Amino acid sequence: MVAATITTTTTSSSKPNETLSLRADSLDVTDDIPLDEKVKAIIRGTGKLQLNRTGLGQNENRVKITAGPDPAGLEILPDEARTRMEHSGVDLSKGYPEIPDISQVPVFVDEAFAVRNEDYPYIEKGKNADPEKKALFGAAKEVIDLTKHIGTEIVGLQLADLTNQQKDELALLIAERVVVFFRDQKLSPQKQLELGDYWGQVEKHPQAAQVPGLRGVTVIWNDYKNKKGMGLTFKNSNYSNWDSDKFAPKGNQAWHSDLCHEHQTAGYTHLHLDSIPGVGGDTLWASGYAAYDKLSEEMKRFLDGKKAVYVSAHSYLDRNDPFGGPKRIERVHPLVRTNPATGWKSLFVNRTMCKRIIGLSPVESDIILSYLKDVYEKNADIQVRFTWKPSKPGYGTSAIWDNRVSQHRSTWDHEGHESRHGTRVTSLAEIPYFDPESKSQREALGLPLDE
């Protein structure tokens, strides 16, 4: 019990780093107020929370909750990002980024689980789109496939100007090609949000840093997290690609898929980088369709219909054991899922979020999941590595991918010496399902399967 502390950090700008440690054995337990209510009241009253499991070193996992706009972030906001925000009318007067108000942040994992736990309608915009994508391709200057199996770049179109027909065709293209890129984009965070809203309910994260006043536009900015103590370095940036349980992921260098723990998981996801290093900071994606097709037909048959447990990236407290360490949201989804736009089967596995296969022993599950993760990560022919490249002043670059059929990760080779900042909007999709009648990508396209 006393091995854990809850460390609170004051919000006072005059003492930004002052911390108060609350030990389990320091709480008054002589009254009738339940322990969870006491802990919650302290957290809500403090404004910032960081929970550490002591003595775990590299294994340490953290709950970090801060609140409101952050003046400390504004100090290091890259010029390109600042200009984009100011030109878009974003209020930076109180700070940047904005963390949801402490009164809105779930403290306990059951509260976090309840967020968006109800079914809500999802209309797959890619499903009835023109398979030839005449409106989209007809307006583009160039359409370039970056690799054979994954990744396409569209040249000569502004995302902010797309018609609904073009958005539908783009959704289908993303679902087919897994990730689609647009360079030299003039895109406000408001327009990015509007585009995400078109494709599905935009995820509004209960903890993550947002653009001030624009819930749903998540800030992707490792320099800021590092300033807040993430401790990302050249040496440790990839540890979690070996063991994500032992080494909690820092930043986004570990292979993952976004928001797998949601009831209706992430679909079309749009990352727009407005500040890009001159060299480095690439992002990699891998195709879940192709990962599935890499498997033997016997392995495919074994995995079809299986389910697995997926966890959230962020942690919360257990109401019944608030000093017992961080807890993550868990949900069960199909291990092989059918994409509603293409109808193709995809391997829904990733190193950091997919934790165990239902029905197998822990040993069997670990061995099989480890192999499946390797299939994704070690087959370079099913991956694309994208170099963002700085755009002309006032412009940025967008990547839009289908989280249902992919994994991704970034690289930390620029080591924070040059700024890398962007905004992400995620459209949540359907409740994941497996259609036993659905085909693999290569089956559907009539490509050889080697057996």
Residues contributing to the site for Fe ion (CB under 5 A): 258
* Contacts for 35 with CB less than 8 Å, ≥ 6 apart: 27, 29, 322
Q: Which is nearer to Fe ion, 424 or 442 (CB)?
A: 424
d(CA 109, CA 61): 15
Closest distance to Fe ion from the beta carbon of 256 (Å): 6
Q: Which is nearer to Fe ion, 47 or 189 (CB)?
A: 189
**Contact (Cβ atoms closer than 8 angstroms) between residue 36 and residue 52:** no
Q: Which is nearer to Fe ion, 258 or 430 (CB)?
A: 258
**Contact (Cβ atoms closer than 8 angstroms) between residue 85 and residue 95:** no
Q: Which is nearer to Fe ion, 205 or 300 (CB)?
A: 205
Q: Residue 298 burial by CB count (10 A; 0-12/13-18/19+): exposed, middle or buried? A: exposed
Side-chain half-sphere of 79: how many Cα atoms within 13 Å?
A: 5
Closest distance to Fe ion from the beta carbon of 426 (Å): 9
Residue 398 Cα to chain centre, angstroms:
15
* Main-chain dihedrals φ then ψ at residue 57, nearest 5 degrees: 55, -125
* Contacts for 54 with CB less than 8 Å, ≥ 6 apart: 3, 4, 5
Q: Which is nearer to Fe ion, 187 or 399 (CB)?
A: 399
Output the CA torsion sign for 125, 129, 132, 134: negative
Closest distance to Fe ion from the beta carbon of 191 (Å): 21
Enter the DSSP assignment of 125: T
Closest distance to Fe ion from the beta carbon of 434 (Å): 23
Q: Which is nearer to Fe ion, 262 or 293 (CB)?
A: 262
Strand partners, 409: 284
Closest distance to Fe ion from the beta carbon of 266 (Å): 9
Closest distance to Fe ion from the beta carbon of 285 (Å): 10
Residue nearest to Fe ion (CB): 258
Closest distance to Fe ion from the beta carbon of 268 (Å): 13
Q: Which is nearer to Fe ion, 153 or 258 (CB)?
A: 258
